[in-house]
Chain A
Amino acid sequence: MNPAHENVLTFLARQTVSAATPLILAGIGELVSELTGVIDIGIEGLMLTGCIAAYTIAGATGHGSLGLATAILAGMAVAALFAATTISGRADQIVSGTALNLLALGLSGTIWSLYQNWRENHDLSTALPHGAGYSRQAVGALARLPFFGPVFFDQYGLFYAAVLLAALVWVIIRFTRLGLILRALGDSPQTCQACGIAVRTWRWLAVLFAGGCAGAAGAYLSIMRTHAFATDMTGGQGFVVLALVIFGRWSMGGLILGCLFFGAINSLQQTLQTARYTSHYAVLHALQSVPFEVFQMLPYVAALAALAVLSRNHPGPRQLGRPWPEYTYLS
Chain B
Amino acid sequence: MLQLTNISKHFGPVAALDNVTLSLRQGAIHGILGENGAGKSTLMNILFGLARPDTGKIEFDGRRVRIASPVIAQRLGIGMVHQHFKLVESLTVLENISLAAVRGLWSPGRRELIGRIRIWTDRLHWNPDLEKPVADLSVGQRQRVEIVKALCTGGKLLILDEPTAVLAPQEVAELIPALRAVAAAGMAVLFISHKLAEVQKLCDRITILRKGRVVYTGSIRELDAGQIAEKMIGARLKIPHLADHQEPPGEAPRWDRGELSPPRLELRNVSVRSSHQGAWLLFNVNLSVRSGEIHGIAGVDGNGQDCLVRCILGQIEPVDGNVIFGDSSDSHRKTPGINPRSPLGCIPEDRQREALVLPLSVQANLMLKRYHTSPFSWMGLCRFGRWRQRSAELIRQFDIRCPDAQTPVGMLSGGNQQKVVVARELGEKPRIILAVNPTRGLDVGASAFVMKQLLAARRDGAAILLVHSDLDELLAISDRVSVLYNGQLQETSWPDASREQIGKMMLGVA
A residues apposed to B, CB below 8 Å: 175-178, 180-181, 183-184, 187-188, 190-197, 318, 329-331
Write the nearest CB–CB distance from A331 to chain B, whole angstroms. Answer: 6
Given A177-B107, A196-B71, answer yes or no on A191-B102 (Cβ-Cβ < 8 Å).
no
Structural contact, B106 and A176, CB atoms closer than 8 A: yes
User: Could you say which of B80, B99, B105, B108 contacts A191, with CB atoms under 8 Å apart?
Assistant: B99
23 cross-chain CB contacts under 8 A: A177-B98, A177-B102, A177-B105, A177-B108, A180-B99, A181-B105, A183-B88, A184-B88, A184-B99, A187-B88, A188-B87, A191-B86, A191-B87, A191-B88, A192-B99, A194-B86, A194-B100, A196-B70, A318-B89, A330-B410, A331-B410, A331-B413, A331-B417
Number of interface residues of B (CB under 8 A): 34
Which B residues from 399 to 425 make CB contacts under 8 A with A? Answer: 408, 410-414, 417
Structural contact, A187 and B69, CB atoms closer than 8 A: no
Residue of A nearest to B75 (CB): A196
Write the nearest CB–CB distance from A175 to chain B, whole angstroms. Answer: 8
- Residues in A neighbouring B88, C-beta threshold 8 A: 183-184, 187-188, 191
Q: With A and B bound together, what is the CA distance between A185 and B417 in angstroms?
A: 31
- Residues in B neighbouring A190, C-beta threshold 8 A: 86
Is residue B358 contacting chain A, with contact meaning CB distance below 8 A? yes
- Residues in B neighbouring A330, C-beta threshold 8 A: 410-413
Structural contact, A188 and B86, CB atoms closer than 8 A: yes
Is residue B365 contacting chain A, with contact meaning CB distance below 8 A? no
- Residues in B neighbouring A177, C-beta threshold 8 A: 98-99, 102, 104-109
Q: With A and B bound together, what is the CA distance between A331 and B98 in angstroms?
A: 30
Structural contact, B108 and A176, CB atoms closer than 8 A: yes
Structural contact, A193 and B87, CB atoms closer than 8 A: no
User: Could you say which of A180, A187, A188 contacts B108, with CB atoms under 8 Å apart?
Assistant: A180
Residue of A nearest to B80 (CB): A194
Structural contact, A184 and B91, CB atoms closer than 8 A: yes
User: Could you say which of B69, B98, B108 contacts A196, with CB atoms under 8 Å apart?
Assistant: B69
Is residue B363 contacting chain A, with contact meaning CB distance below 8 A? no
Residue of A nearest to B410 (CB): A329
6 more CB-based (< 8 A) A-B contacts, given A177-B107, A194-B86, A329-B359: A177-B108, A178-B106, A184-B99, A188-B89, A191-B96, A192-B99
Structural contact, A193 and B70, CB atoms closer than 8 A: yes
Number of A-B contacts (CB under 8 A): 76
Q: With A and B bound together, what is the CA distance between A191 and B74 in angstroms?
A: 14
- Residues in A neighbouring B91, C-beta threshold 8 A: 180, 183-184, 187
Top 3 A-B pairs, shortest CB-CB distance: A329-B410, A196-B71, A191-B86
- Residues in B neighbouring A194, C-beta threshold 8 A: 70, 80, 82, 86, 100
Given A177-B105, A329-B411, A330-B411, answer yes or no on A195-B89 (Cβ-Cβ < 8 Å).
no
Q: With A and B bound together, what is the CA distance between A165 and B307 in angstroms?
A: 50
- Most A Cβ at <10 Å: residue of B87, B88, B413: B88
- Residues in A neighbouring B69, C-beta threshold 8 A: 196
Structural contact, B107 and A176, CB atoms closer than 8 A: yes
Write the nearest CB–CB distance from B328 to chain A, whole angstroms. Answer: 42
- Residues in A neighbouring B89, C-beta threshold 8 A: 187-188, 318
Which B residues from 405 to 451 make CB contacts under 8 A with A? Answer: 408, 410-414, 417
B104-129 interface code vs A (CB 8 A; 1 in, 0 out): 11111100000000000000000000
Is residue B453 contacting chain A, with contact meaning CB distance below 8 A? no
Is residue B5 contacting chain A, with contact meaning CB distance below 8 A? no
Q: With A and B bound together, what is the CA distance between A177 and B97 in angstroms?
A: 11
Q: With A and B bound together, what is the CA distance between A196 and B49 in angstroms?
A: 10
Q: With A and B bound together, what is the CA distance between A330 and B91 in angstroms?
A: 29
Structural contact, B90 and A187, CB atoms closer than 8 A: yes
Is residue B95 contacting chain A, with contact meaning CB distance below 8 A? yes
Q: With A and B bound together, what is the CA distance between A197 and B103 in angstroms?
A: 10
Residue of A nearest to B95 (CB): A180
- Residues in A neighbouring B411, C-beta threshold 8 A: 329-330
Is residue B21 contacting chain A, with contact meaning CB distance below 8 A? no
Write the nearest CB–CB distance from A117 to chain B, whole angstroms. Answer: 48
Residue of B nearest to A327 (CB): B359
Is residue B352 contacting chain A, with contact meaning CB distance below 8 A? yes
Write the nearest CB–CB distance from A199 to chain B, whole angstroms. Answer: 12
Q: With A and B bound together, what is the CA distance between A235 and B429 in angstroms?
A: 63
- Residues in A neighbouring B414, C-beta threshold 8 A: 331
Write the nearest CB–CB distance from A54 to chain B, whole angstroms. Answer: 31
Write the nearest CB–CB distance from B413 to chain A, whole angstroms. Answer: 7
- Most A Cβ at <10 Å: residue of B80, B99, B352, B414: B99
Write the nearest CB–CB distance from A39 to chain B, whole angstroms. Answer: 17
Q: With A and B bound together, what is the CA distance between A192 and B95 in angstroms?
A: 12
Structural contact, A176 and B71, CB atoms closer than 8 A: no
Write the nearest CB–CB distance from A179 to chain B, whole angstroms. Answer: 8
- Residues in B neighbouring A329, C-beta threshold 8 A: 358-359, 408, 410-411
Q: With A and B bound together, what is the CA distance between A177 and B98 in angstroms?
A: 8
- Most A Cβ at <10 Å: residue of B90, B96, B100: B90
